[in-house]
C-alpha cells in the first residue's frame, strides 16, 4: 500500500468522513506501518491541540475565575433560604398536601357543628357561682 496515498486520506479518516471501505483500508495499513501510524498520531495531536502543552489559559486567569465563582456561589443564609424555597417538590408530596387540605375542608363543617353543640351544652349546664344562695344550684 502506498504510504503517500494513505497519509493523504488521514484527515478524512480523522474527521470520520471516510467511507467504511476506506476506513477499513486505512486501519489495516496503520496496524502494519509504523511510519503512517506515527504520522496519524502526530496529525491527531496537532488537530486536537494536545501537542500544545503549556499553551492553556494562565494560572492567574484560572485563579481569577475561581475567585469569581466562589464569590458568586458561596452559600450565605439568604441564598440557602432562597434555594430551599425554590427547591423542586416531588409530586407525591404535593398530592399528600392536597389530600390533607381536602380532608380538613371536608371535615371542618361537621367538626365545627359538633364543637358548637358541645359549647351550648356546656353553657346550659354551667353552675352560676356568682350567686351565694342555694338558687344558684337550681340545676340540682
Partner 1 sequence: MDSDEILYARVKQGDVSAFDELYARHAPRLFAFLRSQVPSAADAEDILHEALLSTLESREVTFDRACFRTWLYRIARNAALNRARSRGRGDAALGNLPEEPPAPAADEQLAHAQRMHALDVAVSRLPGALADVYHLRSSGLSYEEIAEVLNIPLGTIKSRMHQMVGALRQELGTWTAQ
Residues making contact with partner 1 (CB under 8 A): 3-4, 7-8, 10-12, 15-17, 35, 39, 42-43, 46-49, 52, 55-58, 61-62, 64-66, 68-70, 72-75, 79, 83
Q: Residue 41 and residue 54: Cα distance in Å, rounded?
A: 19
Q: Three-class SS string for 45-81? A: HHHCCCCCCCCCCCHHHHHHHHHHHHHHHCCCHHHHH
Taking the complex as a whole, the smallest distance from the CB of residue 51 to partner 1 amounts, in Å, to: 8
Taking the complex as a whole, the smallest distance from the CB of residue 113 to partner 1 amounts, in Å, to: 50
Q: Which is nearer to partner 1, 2 or 135 (CB)?
A: 2
Taking the complex as a whole, the smallest distance from the CB of residue 87 to partner 1 amounts, in Å, to: 11
Q: Which is nearer to partner 1, 87 or 126 (CB)?
A: 87
- Closest by CA to 8, choosing from 125, 64, 25, is 25
Retrieve residue 114's grid coordinates. Answer: 359538633
Retrieve residue 20's grid coordinates. Answer: 467504511
Q: Which is nearer to partner 1, 35 or 94 (CB)?
A: 35
Contacts of 128 (CB under 8 A, 6+ apart): 136
Q: Which is nearer to partner 1, 69 or 103 (CB)?
A: 69
Amino acid at each position: 500500500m502506498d504510504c503517500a496515498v494513505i497519509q493523504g486520506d488521514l484527515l478524512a479518516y480523522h474527521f470520520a468522513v471516510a467511507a467504511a471501505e476506506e476506513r477499513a483500508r486505512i486501519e489495516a495499513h496503520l496496524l502494519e506501518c509504523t511510519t503512517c501510524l506515527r504520522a496519524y498520531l502526530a496529525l491527531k495531536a496537532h488537530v486536537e491541540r494536545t501537542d500544545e502543552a503549556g499553551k492553556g489559559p494562565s494560572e492567574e486567569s484560572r485563579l481569577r475565575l475561581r475567585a469569581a465563582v466562589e464569590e458568586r456561589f458561596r452559600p450565605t443564609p439568604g441564598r440557602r433560604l432562597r434555594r430551599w424555597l425554590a427547591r423542586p417538590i416531588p409530586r407525591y408530596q404535593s398530592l399528600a398536601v392536597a389530600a390533607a387540605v381536602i380532608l380538613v375542608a371536608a371535615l371542618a363543617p361537621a367538626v365545627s357543628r359538633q364543637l358548637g353543640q358541645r359549647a351550648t351544652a356546656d353553657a346550659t349546664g354551667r353552675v352560676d357561682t356568682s350567686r351565694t344562695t342555694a338558687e344558684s344550684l337550681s340545676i340540682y
